[in-house]
Structure 1
């Protein structure tokens, strides 16, 4: 049965291998059999970049290029800009009327992100991020949402908000299911791959940049000499072998544990595998670079399609709430 999929990314910089493993590769598969909506989340980017809106503007087309590079097809997936669908903002306001501050404060993802950004006093928009995300999902009645593991609390919050709305007014909205992707550790080994932490490999990374980044990547700290037995499960580089070089991962693991392969050779092997993955992405991206008019038209068309659905949903929401005051019968 065909499902409706909603996914997207905050427009705060180019996308990276963590996005690819966690969601992007799934989106390419999903668009072949489901109705997919891919959102450039510029409003949510403002929750942490409200003082740098120019950065968001600069990266809008860059993220669109990333989508095209991995194989997201505008003929199969609707790519749209969040802020240009005002019905999402309207639905966010409505949801916020019956979501408690305590529920938001106890959201583990909000707590983790607040700690990461050093926020001790939370901004209203930042605290309300899950409410905004619920509106993103509900406006198109998405049934499936590809997310990383850290986003599961947001999906659960969305399900609760949708249930609450349906119980209060009428069952017009749909509870989504999460499709959880794999997590990729950052090059520094301190947590997930992240643009803000500077431990990421961008999807348009050149061979030379890739070599430099992987050369600096953290490995098993217990390996002092080349022939010391290693512990692959604590090494970020082995995680990349497992995810992107499965044909050689077993042999790499065995050699590492025996101390018969050094970190330099191990890193050279994953550079070859990653470069093989990224090369067609770079080539596909180059076809669209500099074609700003094409990119803009693609996003305008997608946004118009998304807004048409949003208007229909908001009509149903207003009718369910009995606030469709002047609706024509």
Structure 2
């Protein structure tokens, strides 16, 4: 009798560790939904430290340490590292280079350059590039990797769901573009990963602007600091945005006429102090986090190798060479 095996879709969540510890924007914009879906999907957390170092070479050593904060925050969010996968892109640089080399053949130069010019790196002034440790003019890798690195590894993993906040949407356009161009050559179309929007892809910061480092609450922030920041919120839109993200939109609407929104602030404090408790209290050893990354290496290596082998065989008609 055959066992009933339920097929699980593969979901990918990408995190840039350039700023280290995750904040509420990351939490409601990608982390929470990704972790909540890990039992029904095969999950891959990709920490793209290659991009982080590419964006700020002067901080390369610090960025390595910040990747640990990202992984720790995901584990404290409930990410099951026994059942799910963790990928540190710098661990697979040779494989990424080979994948990018192949997929670069299916992206128009002008399109790729347009994407670059409208990116963070493409918008830097010369003095800003110098401050970050970048050359005056971008390298080929600087132009190609941000556009192709994550799409290439997602294709190699055969990901079907691409999950994340608003900044992730751009990758979906690139993947569709690549797949359509590949179809023209090989008459073979495998659908690119489908974008899975988060509950709130655009989380407001403490000042009512898009949440960034300077206007955020970090998941591991101490309780006193968290309470003080909430007390100092002046923009009612922030209260509404956060309560909606936390699943309490109806409560906000009921108390929306409360001009100083004392009750709503106290509710937010209770919610976040309780929900973020694991992030404050669970500090993991670097050796343990290294072990998690290492334990994931062989499985991911095999998937990337198999995909590259298929590309060589079917696209380049290169068979394995045997020594006689």
In the superposition, the TM-score normalised over structure 2's length comes to 0.83
Alignment check: 8 A CA contact 1:88 1:139 kept: no
Task: Output aligned runs, 1:128-167, within 5 Å.
Answer: 128=144, 129-167=146-184
Contact 2:107 / 2:177 at 8 angstroms: preserved in 1? no
Residue 27 of structure 2 corresponds to residue 17 of structure 1: no
Partners of 1:11 and 1:59 within 8 A in 2:
yes
Deviations 1:203-231 (A, max 9, x none): 111211212322333414xxxxxxxxxxx
Q: Determine the structure 2 residue equivalent to 1:239.
A: 241
C-alpha contact 2:13 2:162 (8 A) present in aligned 1 = yes
Query: Match of 2:8?
Result: 2
1:245 to partner: Cα distance = 5.2
Count of aligned residue pairs for this structure pair: 303
User: Following superposition, which runs of at least 4 residues in structure 1 exceed 4 angstroms of deviation?
Assistant: 114-122
**Take 2:183 and 2:42, find their aligned partners in 1: how far apart are those partners?**
24
Matched, 1:295 2:295: no
Unmatched 5+ stretches in structure 2 = 1-6, 130-135
Q: Which residue of 1 aligns with 2:205?
A: 186
Distance in 2 between the 1:215 and 1:115 partners?
38
RMSD: 2.7
- Which of 64, 67, 73 is matched with 2:80 structurally? 73
- Confirm whether residue 201 of structure 1 aligns to residue 217 of structure 2: yes
TM-score, reference length from structure 1: 0.82
Q: Give the 5 Å matches for 1:1-329.
A: 1-12=7-18, 13-85=20-92, 86-107=94-115, 111=118, 113=120, 123-124=138-139, 125-128=141-144, 129-169=146-186, 171=188, 174-181=191-198, 182-183=200-201, 184-191=203-210, 193-195=211-213, 198-220=214-236, 235-244=237-246, 246=248, 249-256=249-256, 258=257, 260-283=258-281, 285-286=282-283, 289=284, 291-322=285-316, 324=318, 326-328=320-322
Write out per-residue CA displacement over residues 125-182 of structure 1, whole angstroms, 9 at most, x where no aligned residue. 4543121121121111111110213322211211221332344247486521110112
How far does the alpha carbon of each residue in 1:9-52 deviate from its partner, in whole angstroms, 9 at most, with x for none?
A: 11211111111112111222222122111111111112322231
| Structure 2 residue aligned with 1:226 | none
Q: Deviations over 1:183-204 (max 9, x none)?
A: 211222122x223xx2222111
Q: CA deviation at 1:116?
A: 7.5
Structure 2 counterpart SS, 1:190: coil
Unpaired stretches in structure 1, ≥5 consecutive residues: 221-234
Report the equivalent of 1:232: none
Distance 2:305 2:105 in 1: 20
